Homo-oligomer: A and B are copies of this chain.
Amino acid sequence: MTGEKKKCVERAQLAMMLEVTAFPKPGNVDRCHDFKDTTLEHFLASVILVRPALEKAREPGARVGEVILDAVVRTNVHSGGNTHFGAFILLVPLVMGRDIPGAVTVVHATTVDDAVSFYRAFGMTQVRVLSTDELDINDPEAADILKSRNMTLYDVMEHSAGNDMVAREWAKGFAATRKGADLLQQHGNGRKSIVTTFLELLASDPDTFVAKKHGAGVAGRIQQMAQEVCSGTRDITEFDQECIDSGVNPGSTADIMIASIYVALGEGWQWD
């Protein structure tokens, strides 16, 4: 593995590690909180175990769908269930393309085979939420439909962009990822900037994982509470507790946060 390859892979792993350990991070697993069935250690085990998949992403001829599938297979070995599915959707093209412009090229070059591999990967996760959309990226049975319609993985993401902020990153040139990376630079080096940036991303857009699980109303309320924390009128610890008490975890914002850390690290932002 060349130095450049290794750098992208380790940067992705560091981004995953830094996101999950950052605290306090309202509603999500962090240094202070576990979920009932998924702990900090499950997330960190995934960070370790995903490495060979990310290394494959840097090999010539790597396919996005296959790498995402490989990442899920490798990290699906502990009892913590899915930890990073959304993050892999962003990190795999970013590692393949090295940076955002490269990732944009990568996602536009995806094929129907990538989409099929992606749905196989999805079928292995436990990210299942109700949806009325036959092509929702959260519905594993959509694979047959997309084959018959000759849809690439990019097409799938574009189709889902309206109600899924991770898919939207593919469709909109990684705009939120870019924004998060800029915010990290703006807030300066050090792990504290991760928490501040996370809150600002949460305040900017309703988290679509929360929306799918609890409805648009709850997602909007969470967004508003994040805005209040950012403006200093609400305490972050209280916000965190409220999220925990109501089972709300802004998981898609965390996925974008990981992508933002990856990008920022590549642009000289330092975590320590």
Partner-B contacts on A (CB < 8 A): 1, 6, 10, 13-14, 17-18, 21, 31, 39-42, 44-45, 47-49, 51-52, 78-80, 191, 271-272
A235: min CB distance to chain B, Å = 21
Contact partner of A41 (CB less than 8 A), chosen from B1, B17, B45, B52, is: B17
> Are A272 and B48 in contact (CB-based, < 8 A)?
no
- In the complex, what distance in Å separates the CA atom of A78 from the CA atom of B271? 9
Q: Is the CB of B10 within 8 A of A78?
A: no
A272 touches B42 (CB 8 A): yes
Taken together as a complex, chains A and B put the C-alpha atoms of A41 and B78 apart, in Å, by 22
Residues of B within 8 A of A41 (CB): 17-18, 21, 191, 271-272
Chain B's closest residue to A18 (CB) is B41
Instruction: Please give me the residue from chain B that is nearest to A1 by CB atom.
Output: B52
Give 10 closest A-B pairs by Cβ, nearest first: A13-B48, A79-B272, A17-B44, A78-B272, A21-B41, A31-B31, A21-B40, A10-B48, A14-B45, A14-B48
- Distance (whole angstroms) from the CB of A27 to the closest CB of chain B: 18
Chain B residues closer than 8 Å to A271, beta-carbon distance: 41
| A52/B6 in contact, CB under 8 A | yes
Contact, CB under 8 Å: B10 / A49: yes
Contact between chains at B48 and A40 (CB < 8 Å) = no
Which has the most chain B C-beta neighbours within 10 Å: A18, A40, A41? A41
User: Whole-angstrom distance between the alpha carbons of A52 and B40 in the complex?
Assistant: 24
